[in-house]
Chains A and B, each alone.
Chain A
Amino acid sequence: MIPLPILPADGADYPPLSALNDLLFCARRCFLHRVEGVWVENVHTTAGTLDHRRVHQTRDTESATGRTARGLWVTSHRLRLTGVCDLVEFRPGAPEVPFPVEYKRGKRRTWDNDEVQLCAQAMCLEEMLGHAIPSGAIFHVKSKRRREIAFTPDLRERTGETAERLHALLAATTTPPPVVHPKCKQCSVRSVCMPDLLTGASAYRRAVADLFRTS
């Protein structure tokens, strides 16, 4: 399935939390996807969609160790973001302590964009529920391991900054220029982005010069 460009949720024109992740991966990709509506499926994106569908399809549960909610819709008016938490555990206590868990396929990324996304979920939950959330976890589907993340002041600050950058990016009307990077190899929108054409333009320049010549 091709996800349509993200529409504002319940009337509020807030971008989704996952856009933070996109932005930290690549600003151009983020703009192409969120503003230009470009989306190309590849193995990585399809598998990610399927993983998430699986998480969201499981019912909410309640047990001795607390209750869990899946596919929880959250919003922060301070960050101007909205999104869905894959899973939130409400750990027993007075009051209960929410513990968000974000599902990610594959191993830990070399660039830590997942942490910002998770932290933004926590900040949304804090704003909605009115109490502090000290930590959460990223669940790596492939290794079935949880990596616990503490929401330090530093990470919170990084999250706030990323949100500001995101709003500025989405308000712009020009597409950020491409940056050629090894991670382009696994990027599904590479064929639309054409980073090699636009940056390593020597062949292009030659062809422009030759267009009105005949040999």
Chain B
Amino acid sequence: MDVQLNTLYIVTRGATVRRDHLTLQVVVEQQARLTVPIHQLESVAAFGGVHVTPGAMGLCAESGVAVNFLTESGRLVARVDAPSSGNVLLRREQFRRADDPGARGSVARCLIAGKLHNCRNLLLRAGRESGDAADQGTLSGAAGHLAGAIPNLEADTDADTVRGREGDAARVYFAAFGAMVRVGRGEFTPNGRTRRPPLDRMNALLSFLYALLTHDCTAACAAAGLDPSVGFLHVDRPGRPGLALDLMEEFRPLLADRLALALVNRQQVKASGFEFREGGAVSMDEATRKAVLTAYQQRKREEVTHPYLDQKVPLGRLPFLQARVFARHLRGDLPSYLPCVLKN
């Protein structure tokens, strides 16, 4: 069976991560706060002003654990990885396919079909749980729109067409998003999707969760021996983890959107935990970020039955499994990439 591997997040400013034999030790104000055996880790995420000693980075590299340095809001700044990780044959095949418009289109339509299924299931679920007739109407209308878009993808042969359909679906989905907010609707209804900077609380929350998810999907691609930066749906751009973003599409509704809604609806995240800056940018305060990280880690531990691998897996393992399915598709073992669609 798979070992339950995990990400070590360090958000405390001024913390130091150092090596202690075969463990990583997190030290804050000269006090050891946490010791984690290296073999339990898949990656390390250091947010903001966190020090990682060369010894700790060396241990991580030897063990195939990537160290990611991120800004406090979760943007990736730098990444320390082993000198040669993964498989050159696989990466070469990935580049070859990514250069082939036909292959790009057929992968892209599968990725987006998976995403739209998961978005639609989230809308349907929220509709069932809602007590308000107007909201139910909004949600089932949006779900119906996505249901209509999915079969059209099957005939799409180029990635641009898929991107167009995805854009339309995303607009409808985010327009209905507010109907899934049940508590604090005034403060937490998003005004469409805004980013760089997010202009409302819900978008600030989503952006942070997407950053965490990008981080996990990047680690998943690297762990499967793929190059996280060469995507099929997302075109190459320096500094952008194209393949990680591709892989992430199906997980946005499962691991980020649903969690954002739960945090707001259960009032685990309060309107007062957000800061408004000059120019309208919204960000979360440190306590809120910590609460979100804790909830995200908890959500990743929840077990689901993988629809076609037929095994119980924690949600946090899904990106890693799917990255391997993707690699198996590239190596010719599987006729198409099959995303993970969850009913609940």
Contact = CB atoms under 8 A, between A and B. Distances in A.
A36 B308 contact: no
A177 B62 CA distance: 30
A210 B121 CA distance: 14
Contacts of B335: 208
Contact of A37 (B113, B225, B332): B225
Interface stretch (A53-61, A130-138, A148-156, A189-197): A189-197
Interface residues of A, number: 29
B310 A196 contact: yes
A73 interface: no
A214 B331 contact: no
B150 interface: yes
A36 B89 contact: yes
Contacts of A203: 307-310
A129 interface: no
Contact of B120 (A192, A198, A212, A214): A214
A64 interface: no
B31 interface: no
Interface stretch (B70-78, B214-222, B336-344): B336-344
Given A38-B225, A191-B324, A198-B333, A211 B90 contact: no
A197 B340 CA distance: 13
B154 interface: yes
A204 B308 contact: yes
A171 interface: no
A38 to B, nearest CB: 7
B86 interface: yes
A94 interface: no
Given A174-B332, A177-B333, A214-B147, A2 B87 contact: no
B308 A197 contact: yes
A210 B110 CA distance: 11
A2 B308 contact: no
B114 A211 contact: yes
**How big is the B interface, by class?**
35 or more
Interface in B75-96: 84, 86-90
B334 interface: yes
Given A192-B324, A198-B333, A212 B307 contact: no
Nearest to B110: A211
Contact of B334 (A198, A211, A212): A198
B241 interface: no
A2 B86 CA distance: 12
Nearest to B327: A192
Nearest to B309: A197
B308 A206 contact: yes
A4 B39 contact: no
Nearest to A213: B151
B64 interface: yes
Nearest to A35: B89
Nearest to A212: B154
Given A175-B333, A203-B307, A36 B324 contact: no
Nearest to A175: B331
A2 B225 contact: no
Nearest to B155: A212
A1 interface: yes
A177 B307 CA distance: 22
Which residue of A173, A206, A207 has the most chain B CB atoms within 10 A of its CB atom?
A: A207
A142 B315 CA distance: 38
Residue from the set B3, B110, B114, B332 with the largest chain A CB neighbour count within 10 Å: B3
A1 B63 CA distance: 6
A41 interface: yes
Given A4-B84, A37-B87, A177-B333, A211 B225 contact: no
B179 interface: no
Contact of A211 (B87, B113, B325, B331): B113
Interface in B54-68: 62-64
B328 interface: yes
Nearest to A39: B64
Nearest to B146: A214
Choose among B90, B113, B153, B308 the residue with the greatest number of A CB atoms under 10 Å from its CB.
Answer: B308
Given A198-B334, A214-B147, A207 B113 contact: no
B333 A211 contact: no
A207 B336 CA distance: 11
10 contacts: A37-B225, A191-B324, A194-B309, A194-B325, A194-B333, A196-B309, A197-B308, A197-B309, A213-B150, A214-B147
Interface of A: 1-2, 4, 35-38, 41-42, 173-175, 177, 191-192, 194, 196-198, 203-204, 206-208, 210-214
Give 4 closest A-B pairs by Cβ, nearest first. A212-B154, A214-B147, A203-B308, A207-B308
Given A175-B332, A211-B339, 14 more contacts: A1-B63, A37-B86, A174-B332, A191-B2, A192-B224, A192-B324, A194-B328, A196-B309, A203-B310, A204-B308, A211-B114, A211-B338, A212-B150, A213-B151
